[in-house]
Amino acid sequence: MKLLKPVWVNHDGQPIFSVDIHPDGTKFATGGQGGDAGRVCLWNFGPVINEELEKKESVPKLLCQMDNHLACVNVVRWSQSGKYLASAGDDETIMIWQISKYLGSSATSIFRGSANVEQWRCIATLRGHSGDILDLNWSPTDEYIASGSVDNNVIVWNARKFPEIVTRLNGHNGFVKGVSWDPIGKYVASQSDDKSVKIWRTKDWKEEKTVSEPFRECGGTTHVLRLNWSPDGQFLRNEWGFGHCLGSQ
């Protein structure tokens, strides 16, 4: 394993809480704290993996810096197509970003930031949570976004008709740390500080199963821990290190 740490990837010395790589591998996004607000940055991946590109002053490293969030950004996630970027954080909002070349003359959204080589704009702001948003995820077909918050709720948003809310999944008794879709979009899973993972059916948005046994011996409130579905849809794995077999879909 080779570990690279480009010193130029930073938020002016402020914390970075989330990183996500664009599906085509050309860029990556970071979310965290900025100077006096939340910050989202888009970075060129070329100078990270190619030392010659890193040394060329003509090759931009920071592609775009967006300071629109009013509080720190906890999560950034690219859509499956890579056309959109979603960011969310302690200001209880989700912002949807799109590059201006797709917007034409409609690219009039307010932009706050010091760099915008690629001309990204916020095209939608989603408000519905009453607490900090800790995680979000796009469905496999980019039809929905699921978000989890310290308000104990999961909100499913209609990604084809922002800012429409499809449903609220409110079965948790503690703040929701992570959300993840299965590979075919049949289920969405949510992980909570109530020491449980809930599996929700997307056909009717009802609870399919609650998994709690692996977490009974865990301590109290912990830092944000997110979960991920395995590519074959058979397992859910979280950052506690537990994997749970879900059986055949």
CATH code (residue 97): 2.130.10.10
In this structure, the answer to whether residues 45 and 55 fall within a common structural domain is yes
177 plus 76 within the same structural domain? no
Single residue among 66, 93, 127 that ends a domain in this structure: 127
What is the number of structural domains in the chain? 2
In a shared domain, residues 21 and 132: no
pLDDT in tens, 104-123: 544 444 445 455 678 899 99
> Is the same domain home to 73 and 194?
no
Give the domain-ending residue among 104, 127, 150: 127
DSSP the chain: ------TT--BTTB-EEEEEE-TTSSEEEEEEE-SSSEEEEEEESHHHH-HHHHH-TTS-SEEEEE---SS-EEEEEE-TTSSEEEEEETTSEEEEEEEGGGTGGG-------S-BTT-EEEEEEEE--SS-EEEEEE-TTSSEEEEEETTS-EEEEETTSTT-EEEEE---SS-EEEEEE-TTSSEEEEEETTTEEEEEETTT--EEEEE-GGGTT--SS-S---EEE-TTSSEEEETTS-EEE----
132 and 249 belong to one structural domain: yes
For residue 2, the model assigns a pLDDT of 72
Specify whether 119 is located in the same domain as 50.
yes
Average pLDDT over residues 156-163: 97
pLDDT of 160-177, one tens digit each?
999 999 999 999 999 999
Task: Give the domain extent around 142.
Answer: 128-249
